[in-house]
Chain A
Amino acid sequence: MNYEFDFGAVLAFWPLFAEGAWVTLRLTFFATIIGFLFGTLCAIARTSGPTWLQRIVAGYVEAIRNTPLLIQSYFLIFGMASIGLRLPILVGATIALVVNIGAYTTEIMRAGIDSIQPGQLEAAECLGLSRTQVYLHVVLRPAMERVYPSLASQYVLLMLASSILSSVGVEELFGISNRVQSDTFRNFEVFVVLGIVYLALSMLLRAAFWLLNLALFTRRRKLGTPI
């Protein structure tokens, strides 16, 4: 092996990497927030909506979960462009990610909602809570507490998957790799640096979710005890 590594040439592009990482983080942030709200609404519709709505949501979840994100983003972004709907690329990318992550959130939150015992709902009714109050305090919060680890890892995976959107022209962290490669001809080094930055980003994200967990679920309980 007589290859000489040259990280200097690649690292000289660090402002570009930082910019790309920032775009990736922003994209992930918005997709996570909107996707969570959308998925939670879908999960509520899936568990207690009218039958036709339940069917639609189930179809949406199956369609998204059984097709790749790449095809979904091609379909949405090129499709929207072809009917004359020209959104800024970051908006289009966020929409594609929300549509994708919404389906996974629906499925995870549904599992959480299903795990709430009927007795809890009856108790809440007896206390005279309104429907909204029941949903917010008795159903959604404990449900989310229970599925929080799955949600968090799904959103870390979302951040990693956002790299796919480079193929529709988003200049996020992975999207800048082409530019750096063609400027430096140091393909392998570029990917090594990208890998390190992505690892750092996913550690950062995991830490953020861990802190959020501490802040959101202040009630301390032993693992395995029913909520």
Chain B
Amino acid sequence: MNMQYIGSLLQGLWGTVLLSLLTFLFGGLFGLVIALARISPLRVVACVTQAYIQFMQGLPLLVLMGLCFYGPSLLGMQSVNPLFAATLAMTFYAGAYLGEIWRGCLEAVPKSQWEAAECLGLSRAQRMRMVVLPQGLRLATPPTVGFMVQIVKNTSVASLVVGYTELSYNAKVLNNTTFQPFLYFGLAGLLYFAVCYPLSRQARKLERKLNVSRR
């Protein structure tokens, strides 16, 4: 074990963090669209969105990675950047789950709030933006922070099909050269833990803070 190996692990950690951040950004935007479409008054839109969510929740992330890696080449893209393919797959994945989480939060906003906003003569977009979304956002914070842990953990499969270099990939390379699985996978595990644990703690703390019935 020397500094070079540690550096390699940290470099992998950066890959993990970068992919997680991109996923959270694009997956979050996509998830918002999914959540809004899921509660759309248009039946067709709501049904199609639900089918999409069901579809995504029945598919392993690895298969999604494969589809996103080989799919673009069908459209004539010559070589697909691993980071691009991984982000694309993670966006589809996170969008579906975040969409479902946020739909629950939006629906948890009391019906009377909707009705009151309607009585004030606000349009649907205004009701959404000024009354429902701000309240839903409050409810959504703890599960969203909790889901970020899932995102970070799931980036670990990005190296398997797509070949994106992140923490678990670098740890595997180190193990292949040194044959010290406990040491390097243990260190990689610790690094993942160092990223995920604060998020889990934060999620639990927020949950307790926002849980009115237990206050």
Contact = CB atoms under 8 A, between A and B. Distances in A.
Interface string B129-171: 0000000000000000000010001101100100000001001
Q: What band does the interface of chain B fall in when counting residues whose beta carbon is under 8 Å from A?
A: 35 or more
Interface stretch (A10-18, A118-126, A187-195, A211-219): A187-195
B63 A191 contact: yes
B127 interface: no
A29 interface: no
Contact of B55 (A160, A164, A177, A199): A199
Contacts of B63: 163, 174, 191, 194-195, 198
Interface stretch (A36-44, A70-78, A135-143): A70-78
Contacts of B57: 202
B54 to A, nearest CB: 9
B193 A63 contact: yes
Contact of A164 (B76, B160, B181, B185): B160
B70 interface: yes
B67 interface: yes
Nearest to A62: B197
Interface in B26-75: 55, 57-64, 66-67, 69-71, 73-75
Contact of B74 (A1, A161, A203): A1
B72 to A, nearest CB: 10
Contact of A71 (B55, B64, B192): B192
B-side interface mostly: helix
Contacts of B75: 1
B196 interface: yes
Contacts of B73: 188
B188 interface: yes
B201 to A, nearest CB: 9
A75 B67 contact: no
B181 A74 contact: yes
A161 B58 CA distance: 11
Contacts of A160: 58-61
A188 B185 contact: no
B157 A70 contact: yes
Interface in A1-36: 1, 3
A188 B157 CA distance: 18
B181 A67 contact: no
A70 B160 CA distance: 10
A63 B190 CA distance: 9
A68 B154 contact: yes
Contacts of B196: 65-67
Contact of B58 (A62, A177, A199): A199
A79 B184 CA distance: 10
Contact of A203 (B58, B60, B193): B58
Contacts of B70: 187-188, 191
Contacts of A68: 153-154, 156-157, 168, 192
A98 interface: no
Interface of A: 1, 3, 62-63, 65-72, 74-75, 78-79, 81-82, 156, 160-161, 163-164, 166-167, 174, 177, 187-188, 190-192, 194-195, 198-199, 202-203
Nearest 10 interchain pairs by C-beta: A191-B66, A78-B181, A68-B156, A66-B196, A202-B58, A75-B185, A68-B153, A188-B70, A163-B60, A160-B60
6 contacts: A1-B74, A67-B189, A68-B156, A68-B157, A167-B160, A194-B66
